[in-house]
Amino acid sequence: MIGYLARRVLSLIPVLLWITVISFGLMHLAPGKPTDATAAFNPKVSLEARQRMEKLYGLDQPVHVQYARWLTRIVRMDFGRSFLDDRPVLEKITERLPVTLAINVWSMALIFAIAIPLGVLAAVRPGGLFDRFTTVFVFIGYSAPSFWLALLGMAFFGVRLRWLPVSGLHALDYESFALWRQWADTAWHLILPVAMTAFVSLAGMSRYMRSSMVDILQQDYIRTARAKGVDEGRVLFHHGLRNALLPIITILGLSLPDLIGGSVIAETIFSIPGMGRLFYEAVMARDYPVVMALVTVGAFLTMLGNLLADVAYASADPRIRVGRSA
Amino acid sequence: MRDLLKNKFAVTGAIILLALAVVALGAPWIAPYDPLAVNLPEALLPPSSAHWLGTDPLGRDVLSRLIYGARISLTIGFIAVGIAVLVGTVVGSVAGFYGGWIDTALMRLVDTLLSIPSVFLLLAVIAIIGPSIQLIMAVIGLTGWMGVARLVRAEVLSLKEREFVLAARVLGASPLRLLRRHLLPNAMGPVLVSATLGVGGAILTESVLSYLGLGVQPPTPSWGNVLNEGRVALGVAWWLTLTPGLCILITVLAFNLLGEGIRERFLRR
């Protein structure tokens, strides 16, 4: 296990390097000096701030020197200061991170709560009525633009019926609420965004669950269990589901970029002050230090998620860590 | 081909796509109005016999804009996927064919691009350079080639030690000829499936970008920016949001059905 873990972590190093190269490269896509664009698009940047930026990034130096400097700074978790308000980028990100994490964790819970039963039920009788019904649902769900569904939800539940709030994270008089009401209020505001981000992966996940379960149910040990007279519910859930869930761990890790990317769209639509919206605002204002930091952090979080998923898989399934090398 | 015609998924998808292609190509003859003609006194009309799908906040006919939008959205979908298939095939075959450190470096690049949320890259690059249709197609293509590269590499790896390839090599075939004549044709099935599904994905991506204001720029209509223009009137004119979304849904569905149909055909071979 330790050997597997070491190999897996070592293989991440080149990926990390590529990530920093790409993030760094973003800043140099624009013609001229990065600070020119910022100053042109945002008159709030003072000359002094601009000179500090240029010195900080060593923009008079050759590109590889600039990259090396930037790299040594981000290794120490120093992402510089925002062009917009001169606050440390790391501080801006960490204050926005909890909301985004909350949305993603809840939507993941929702995905599991719906996709697993759906996949299992469809797999019990492949080609049966329920299976065909969910196939159609999955195809449509897979093809629908989730932001469009979010807008329709907003128009219907928010504007027409007035059941759900359409934007923001808190009600106006949030500060005056008791603690439990503050929580309830926040949860209330998160219903539509969570539903939207969950929807993105829901169709795919229930499909994977179905095919994984169908595979497992054809295994010899399932036939053995049935032949022994184990009752069907136990065969499905104890022998079947437990094994069918294994590959899902990996799929979950792979769907992380979509979840993080989805929060950019959801938070922008619902005006939620999370990491995704921070990214959108930074991109629109060409706030390069924030953009570069978020691309790096977003990719890093995804990689970490994938690593955790692989480790979880390997600890659950010995064939992985013995069999193939990472 | 005959198997494909028996597949309900593939046939449904193909028929929808054929109809869409006719609409997109025949836009100037089919569209009842000029998609760019602003007519402020007739802004935000609900669907009626004169304007089947109503009018937008500038009084333009929504049906005409959606018909012309089909051209833009389909073009972006096809060209973006074309770029992705080209880059993916080149990277995948070079990595698989030469192996060694070249393979390792290229595959780590693939891992990297897969771990950066593509929305981040798309938004950042387009916002920094400035949105244009050409850039959108290029960036969607350049963030979407990794799947194809993996497919092609796997296929090349599994075939390059086989006898028929060795035989061709002994006969003095150049690497390029080996790839073109012997290795790549075998990888085309899975690549075709992933390309078909990819066109739907690219159209979805374009709609998100246009909705966020970083896609096709007005007044040129694309399904995404028709949606975006309806946003201001979401409360009063919901049909402006409903119809472009339905266009996207139906088109993406058609590509997914066709792709899935082709996949089944290859799996059951």
Mutate to test the interface with A, among B112, B196, B258 (most CBs of A within 10 A): B112
Closest C-alpha to A254, from B118, B158, B209, B104: B118
Which of A58-72, A80-94, A103-117, A122-136 shows the lowest mean pLDDT across its residues?
A58-72
Read off the DSSP letter of residue B46: P
CA–CA min distance A171, chain B (Å): 20
Which residues in B lie closer than 8 A to residue A156 (C-beta atoms)? 238
Check if A124 contacts B (Cβ < 8 Å). Answer: no
A25, A53, A30, A29: which is closest to A41 by C-alpha?
A30
Mean pLDDT across the stretch B22-48? 84
pLDDT tens per residue across span B147-191: 999 999 998 888 888 888 888 888 878 888 888 887 888 888 889
In chain A, the residue whose alpha carbon lies closest to the alpha carbon of B239 is: A152
CB atoms A279 and B123 under 8 Å: yes
Residue of A14, A254, A298 with shortest CB distance to B117: A298
User: Could you report the per-residue pLDDT of A43-92, keeping only the tens digit for each?
Assistant: 566 677 767 767 666 676 778 888 888 888 888 888 888 888 888 999 99
**Contacts B248 to A, Cβ<8 Å:** 144-145, 148
- Chain A residues whose CB is inside 8 A of the B120 CB are 260-261, 264, 279, 294-295, 298-299
Mean pLDDT for chain B? 87
Distance from CA of B21 to the nearest CA of A (A): 19
SS3 B61: strand
Q: What is the percent of chain B with per-residue pLDDT over 90, rounded to a whole number?
A: 41
Partners of A298 on chain B (C-beta within 8 Å) are 116-117, 120
Residue A193, preceding bond cis, omega within 30 degrees?
A: no
Query: Contacts of residue A159 in chain B, CB cutoff 8 Å?
Result: 234-235
Beta pairing partners, A88: A81
- B41: which DSSP letter? G
Nearest chain B residue to A306, by CA: B115
Identify whether the C-beta of residue B156 lies closer than 8 Å to the C-beta of residue B93. yes
Q: Report d(CA A257, CA B120) in Å as an integer.
A: 9
Averaging pLDDT over each range in A178-182, A204-208, B63-67, B233-237, which range is the top one? Answer: B63-67
ipTM of the complex in this document: 0.85
- Specify the pLDDT at position A325: 44
- Whether chain A has a CB inside 8 Å of the CB on B249: the answer is yes
Q: What is the mean pLDDT of residues B242-247?
A: 92
Give the whole-angstrom CA distance, residue A129 versus residue B69. Answer: 37
DSSP state, residue B6: H
Q: Is A320 on the interface with B (CB under 8 A)?
A: no
Q: Please tell me the predicted confidence (pLDDT) of residue A33.
A: 61
Q: Do A144 and B242 make contact, defined as CB atoms within 8 angstroms?
A: no
**In chain A, whose CA is at the least distance from the CA of B244?**
A148
